[in-house]
């Protein structure tokens, strides 16, 4: 059933999500007897691959609609979050993985404090966020195209590595390593795809989600756009091939930042 899910069909034609999965597959170590949390699971695609790493997983999100969409893919161990403290006891998890979640929150510092509370001593935190800085020109282009932060569900553009390190240290973490992904060409292609979707396909949504509305967010919405999706699927091999030109831009920082950190104690 999972192999036929609409989420995985969208994932197979993505650029940034595929890069995130590659990093997870290569760099994330999960022990078989561990208890782990995917914080901000959205529609569950990356949760699906995280669970294949082994261990026991819970997947959590604020939006009931996200969790409802996720149920066909993950089946169980889904938790709806509310504002404020997480509904977990102290020292509950060996790992917390939170991909593209922190930038969606007003209280990002409090979120990091809560992650510290629910992680076991020496527990592992993996974060992915947009990366910002003076030379990240596509953020300015996004604004010029009218793609407001609210379309992405973002409360802020993202974080620099320096800023994120400071926030982590304040919350009681030590940053161990970081990786860049989504360099200039990939990010530019994603930006164009987001613009086309918001401009022509996603503007009439009657609901708001924590993670915005720059792609189909329910099976019903995906079904109404099958013809368009088939057209994009036919073009996708060319889009993906163009994105591989980023390998020649290895000297540029990525517009995506993934970090690994541990509790200091």
Would you state the pLDDT for residue 206? 47
Would you call 28 exposed, middle or buried from its count of C-beta atoms within 10 A (0-12, 13-18, 19+)? middle
Distance CA 209, CA 216 (A): 11
Q: Which residues of 208-245 are buried (b: 16+ CB within 10 A; e: fewer)?
A: ebbbbbbbbbbeebbeebeeebeebeeeeeebeeebee
Q: Which whole-number Å values give the CA distances from 83 to 91, 98, 105, 172, in the listed order?
A: 20, 16, 10, 22
Distance CA 20, CA 181 (A): 7
Would you state the pLDDT for residue 91? 95
Question: Does 167 have pLDDT greater than 90?
Answer: yes
Distance CA 72, CA 226 (A): 19
Q: Which domains does the chain have, with CATH numbers?
A: 2-263 (3.40.50.150)
The H or E element containing residue 257 is strand 256-263
Helix, strand or coil, per DSSP, at residue 44: coil
Would you state the pLDDT for residue 211? 66
Q: How many CB atoms lie within 10 A of CB 194?
A: 19
Would you state the pLDDT for residue 3? 47
Would you call 66 exposed, middle or buried from its count of C-beta atoms within 10 A (0-12, 13-18, 19+)? buried
The radius of gyration computed from the CA coordinates of the chain, to the nearest angstrom, equals 18
Task: Write out pLDDT tens, residues 55-114.
Answer: 999 999 988 888 888 888 998 999 999 878 999 999 999 999 999 999 999 999 999 999
Task: Write out pLDDT tens, residues 20-63.
Answer: 999 999 999 999 999 999 999 988 999 999 999 999 999 999 88
Contact 102, 243 (CB under 8 A): no
Would you state the pLDDT for residue 38? 97
Helix, strand or coil, per DSSP, at residue 260: strand
| Out of 66-70, 134-138, 181-185, 209-213, least confident range | 209-213
Distance CA 32, CA 183 (A): 33
Residue 264: which residues within 8 A CB-CB, separation 6 or more? Answer: 172, 173, 174
Helix, strand or coil, per DSSP, at residue 165: helix
Task: Write out pLDDT tens, residues 202-238.
Answer: 655 545 566 677 788 888 888 888 899 999 999 999 9
Task: Write out pLDDT tens, residues 238-264.
Answer: 999 999 999 998 889 999 999 999 998
Average pLDDT over the chain reads 91
Structure token pair of residue 247: 């390998």
Would you state the pLDDT for residue 225? 86
Structure-token match 């509370």, residue found: 117
Contact 226, 82 (CB under 8 A): no
Q: What is the DSSP string of 83-124?
A: SSS-SS-TT-EEEEEEES-GGG-S-HHHHHHHHHHHEEEEEE
* Phi, psi angle pair for 106, to nearest 5°: -65, -45
For residue 263, list its beta bridge partners: 173
For residue 180, list its beta bridge partners: 257
Q: Give helix 108-118 / helix 161-171 axis angle, nearest 10°.
A: 50
pTM of this structure: 0.91
């Amino acid at each position: 059933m999972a192999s036929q899910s609409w989420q995985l069909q969208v994932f197979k034609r993505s650029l940034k999500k595929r890069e995130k999965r590659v990093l997870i597959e290569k760099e994330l170590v999960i022990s078989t007897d561990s208890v782990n949390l995917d914080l901000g699971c959205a529609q569950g695609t990356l949760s699906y691959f995280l669970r294949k790493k082994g261990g026991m997983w819970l997947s959590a999100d604020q939006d009931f609609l996200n969790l409802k969409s996720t149920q066909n893919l993950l089946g169980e161990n889904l938790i709806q979050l509310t504002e404020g403290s997480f509904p977990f006891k102290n020292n509950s998890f060996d790992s917390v993985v939170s991909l593209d979640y922190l930038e969606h929150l007003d209280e990002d510092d409090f979120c990091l404090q809560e992650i510290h509370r629910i992680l076991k001593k020496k527990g592992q935190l993996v974060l992915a966020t947009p990366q910002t800085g003076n030379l990240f020109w596509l953020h300015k282009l996004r604004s010029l195209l009218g793609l407001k932060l609210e379309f992405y569900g973002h409360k802020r553009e993202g974080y620099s590595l320096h800023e994120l390190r400071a926030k982590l240290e304040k919350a009681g973490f030590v940053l161990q390593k970081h990786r860049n992904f989504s360099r200039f060409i990939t990010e530019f292609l994603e930006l164009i795809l987001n613009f086309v979707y918001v401009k022509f396909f996603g503007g009439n949504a009657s609901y708001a989600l924590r993670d915005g509305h720059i792609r189909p967010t329910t099976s019903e919405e995906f079904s109404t756009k099958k013809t368009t999706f088939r057209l994009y699927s036919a073009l996708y091999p060319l889009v993906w091939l163009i994105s591989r030109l980023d390998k020649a831009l290895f000297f540029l920082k990525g517009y995506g930042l993934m970090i690994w950190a541990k509790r200091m104690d």
